[in-house]
Amino acid sequence: MNLDELNRVANAMVTPGKGILAADESTGTIKRRFDAIGVENTEDNRRDYRELLFRSTEAMRDCISGVILYDETIWQKARDGTPLVKLIEQTGAIPGIKVDEGTKPLPGCPNEVVTIGLDKLTERLPKYLEQGARFAKWRAVIDIGPGIPTHTAIHANAHALARYAALCQAAGIVPIVEPEVLMDGDNDIDRCYEVTQWMLKETFHELYYNRVALEGMVLKPNMAIAGKKSPKRAGVDEVAEKTVRLLKACVPAAVPGIAFLSGGQSDEEATAHLDAMNRIGNLPWKLTFSYGRALQAAPQKAWSGRPENVAAAQRAFTHRARMNGLATRGQWRADLERKAA
């Protein structure tokens, strides 16, 4: 393991002013996104859509540090025959790859899941490295509900994350460690705080036991936030303050950076929360974004599968990327959204 190189890539992924584009939707997930805009879920349409993002030169060059790809996408070529990985590299962004294979029910734990995909990972990673991937991603999913999460689910998922991270580093690939506590329930922000703290502490224990070098990884957590069905919403400042407090209690300073997932927040909400956290300042790690839907909902709607809409879609993507880039420096303002509109 070349820790200097892993650390260099991890630091580049969390460069201030930039963040990570999560373009790693599975074929099933992107079908739901395409259904919403009336686009057929074909391989060509998936390629065309992602190509328009990667060819948004201004956004990619100025605001995107890396792109998480799905297995199909990392092997695809653009319409003119250029590998999509090359399009990303030409903008200065770093290609990455989602390596988990989704979730399966966790035996003995009703309504809980564990992420799978470790068994062939040792053989898959060198192929991804050769294809240009310099980092990888593995997502663990923890739900909040009556009687859950259980310690069994927290431990099983934290252990799998740590095993994945160790295999990545051994292969010369930076792991993004993503323990996601879902915001789908009716829990308040304090319950989210408690469960996220539990999951993060367990994850860092497992990373230690599996000898993962913290200097060569990036953490991708959820924010401390109330569930979507909660009658009690937390304001922007409360989300920022509690999330920063939570991270300070759980995340060692050796980790180069934290790239938040948006987890179903609205575009502007995800930007405002990140901005408020960076305004708190004096943090041991860099705070940035690794957004999927919060960067892509606007360009998808603008594109709607029509070639004549590509430029409009690229403008929408560039705007969202720029807003989140400002948020990584604590320089975003709500009036900038309205100006663009």
User: Which one from 18, 98, 137, 220 is the annotated catalytic residue?
Assistant: 220
Residue 322's pLDDT is 98
pLDDT for 1 equals 79
Residue 93 has pLDDT above 90, yes or no: yes
Assess whether pLDDT exceeds 60 at residue 311: yes
The reported pLDDT for the residue numbered 340 is 67
- Mean pLDDT score, 310-330: 98
- State the pLDDT at residue 313: 97
pLDDT above 90: percentage of residues in the chain: 98
**pLDDT tens-digit series, residues 6-31:** 999 999 999 999 999 999 999 999 99
- Alpha-carbon span 13 to 19, nearest angstrom: 7
Both structure tokens of 29:
């997930």
Q: For this structure, is 229 an active site residue?
A: no
| Alpha carbon of residue 128 to chain centroid | 18
Q: Say whether pLDDT at 296 is over 80.
A: yes
What does the block give as tokens for 268? 């502007």
What is the pLDDT averaged over residues 101-129?
98
Which pLDDT score, from 0 to 100, does residue 338 have? 82
pLDDT tens, residue by residue, 48-86:
999 999 999 999 999 999 999 999 999 999 999 999 999
Average pLDDT over residues 128-145: 98
Q: Determine which one of 178, 180, 202, 206 is catalytic.
A: 178
**160-207 pLDDT, tens per residue?**
999 999 999 999 999 999 999 999 999 999 999 999 999 999 999 999
pTM assigned to the model: 0.97
Name the percent of the chain lying above pLDDT 70: 99
Average pLDDT value for residue range 251-265: 96
Please compute the mean of the pLDDT values over residues 246-272 and round it to a whole number.
Answer: 97
Give the mean pLDDT of the chain.
97
In CATH terms, the fold of domain 3-340 is: TIM Barrel (3.20.20)
How confident is the model over 211-238, as a mean pLDDT? 97
Q: Exposed (0-12), middle (13-18) or buried (19+): which is 257, by Cβ within 10 Å?
A: buried
**pLDDT at residue 341 tops 60:** no
Q: List the one residue out of 244, 241, 242, 292 whose CA is nearest residue 264.
A: 292
Return the structure tokens found at 226.
């109330």
Q: At 25, give phi and psi (nearest 5°).
A: -60, 135
To the query of whether residue 86 is one of the catalytic residues in this protein, the response is no
